[in-house]
């Protein structure tokens, strides 16, 4: 598993903890890295995970509005905790990180496969693909990741969105 995928999984776990315990910001990251994180993670990946989790929480209104716009007949509060946080994490990455959107979707689906259900991956894929199309119409993405970062993302192993 690439270090960026591991970082995304850690960010998902932080968002899950924030949802359950209501912990936010620096306290959330400090608690996660000192008490909850399993195994060793490279400092760069740890920084990426923290940036994703704290950034998602700081931009939650904008992120949730994007999800709401494409989650027909679904209230965010009624979504499964894991599924809504996978969506939040991916949408934040769409909006604020330089990761190609297709890579973000692939990574979100791989994480959903690990932490959720088969049906959830279809649900997540549909919403993320629709949001990606919206964003592509608003502003086409420029692939700003380096080849090394893309390789580290394990994007060659991830399945393409359906």
pLDDT per residue as tens digits for the range 13-46: 999 999 998 888 888 999 899 887 766 788 899 9
* CA gap 29, 26 in Å, rounded: 5
Q: Which of 55-74 are b and which e, b meaning 16 or more Cβ less than 10 Å from the residue's Cβ?
A: bbbebbeebbebbeebbeee
Average pLDDT (82-110) is 97
The token duo for 109 is 């689906």
Mean pLDDT of the chain: 87
Task: Give the confidence band of 161 by pLDDT, cuts at 50, 70, 90.
Answer: very low
Contact criterion met (CB below 8 Å) for 82 and 115: yes
User: Rounded to 10 degrees, what is the CA torsion of 62, 46, 24, 52?
Assistant: 0
For residue range 125-136, what is the model confidence (pLDDT) as tens digits?
A: 999 999 999 999
The token duo for 69 is 């716009």
């Amino acid at each position: 598993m690439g270090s960026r995928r591991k970082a995304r999984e850690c960010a998902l776990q932080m968002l899950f903890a924030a949802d359950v315990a209501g912990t936010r910001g620096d306290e959330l990251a400090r608690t996660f890295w000192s008490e909850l994180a399993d195994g060793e993670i490279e400092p760069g990946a740890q920084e990426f995970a923290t940036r994703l989790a704290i950034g998602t929480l700081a931009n939650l209104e904008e992120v949730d509005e994007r999800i709401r716009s494409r989650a027909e007949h679904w209230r965010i509060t009624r979504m499964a905790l894991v599924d809504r946080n996978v969506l939040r994490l991916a949408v934040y990455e769409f909006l604020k990180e330089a990761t190609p959107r297709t890579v973000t979707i692939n990574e979100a689906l791989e994480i959903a496969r690990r932490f959720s259900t088969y049906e959830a991956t279809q649900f997540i894929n549909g919403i993320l693909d629709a949001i990606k199309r919206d964003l592509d119409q608003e502003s086409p993405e420029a692939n700003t990741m380096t080849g090394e970062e893309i390789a580290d993302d394990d994007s060659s192993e991830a399945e393409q969105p359906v």
